[in-house]
Amino acid sequence: MSKIIIVLFLSLSFLKVNGQNTLVDSADQKKNVRFKYRSLIFPTVLIGYGVVGLTSPALKKINNSIRDELSAQHFRKVKLDNFTQYTPSLSVYALNAFGIHGKNNLKDRTIVMATAYIIMGSSISIIKKTSNIERPDSSNTRSFPSGHTANAFLGAEFLYQEYKDISVWYGIMGYLVATGTGFLRMTNDKHWLTDVATGAGIGILSTKIAYWVHPFLKKTIFKDKDDLNGMIMPFYNGREYGLGLSMIF
């Protein structure tokens, strides 16, 4: 069963990267930006699967079967997912630092990423507080959806959008890392499959919305701010991991 789940996630990742056009071709695009509703299919299916799984006996049974199968495999519990969740996002800045420039400049890509994180973070927080789904390890009732997975897939979509015109392989690698992060959340007994699926969908959708609204934000809120200096760094406060974003306009 665990092998089937890995193949399923990888298949969905490759389908997403190879079959999806960009939501906004350029942040500086002068013509009107039209939302491509087809781009909503992939993340909506993932979110829908997780939501239905909250009440569906069949999907709950699948959750338990996968957990039992992973437990039987005796996977070693590692904390690598605390770091891989941010790898795709940080890769965008690392590639630019090494001279491989993406679609947007520092200002525009940072606005897009910050917008995506605000959308994703607020959505995840609200749903976790209201769903009250117990984690597989019974540590708390904030299992649904997976925030780590949402972070990873947000970054994977961000990496894909910025570099798809240079090479699709950047996006593929980002989605592979994101898929691995989701799988680690299950092997670490922190999330059900439905948690991971919904987290992935929310992460992807948050980035898509961020690119969609970016022209409006740039035209209104950031129209007179041509220069932007900032720094993005991971942080750890002893209990939580995250990304710190500091911008000077």
- pLDDT, tens digit, 9 for 90 and up, residues 10-63: 444 444 554 444 333 444 444 444 567 788 899 999 999 999 999 999 999 999
State pTM to two decimals.
Answer: 0.81
In angstroms, the CA 111 to CA 28 distance is 13
**Residues 6+ positions from 245 with CB-CB distance below 8 Å:** 110, 113, 114, 117, 230, 231, 232
Enumerate the domain spans of the chain: 2-248
Q: What is the pLDDT of residue 220?
A: 85
Strands 241-248, 229-236: pairing kind: antiparallel
Extract the residue ranges of the chain whose pLDDT is less than 70.
1-35, 224-249
**Residues 6+ positions from 196 with CB-CB distance below 8 Å:** 145, 146, 149, 182, 183, 185, 186
Q: What is the pLDDT of residue 113?
A: 95
Q: How far is CA 100 from the centre of its chain?
A: 22
Are 94 and 23 in contact by the 8 Å Cβ rule? The answer is no
In angstroms, the CA 72 to CA 104 distance is 46
Average pLDDT taken over every residue of the chain: 83
Q: What is the pLDDT of residue 42?
A: 94
SS3 call for 229: strand
CA atoms within 13 A on the CB side of 65: 11
Q: How far is CA 60 from the centre of its chain?
A: 23
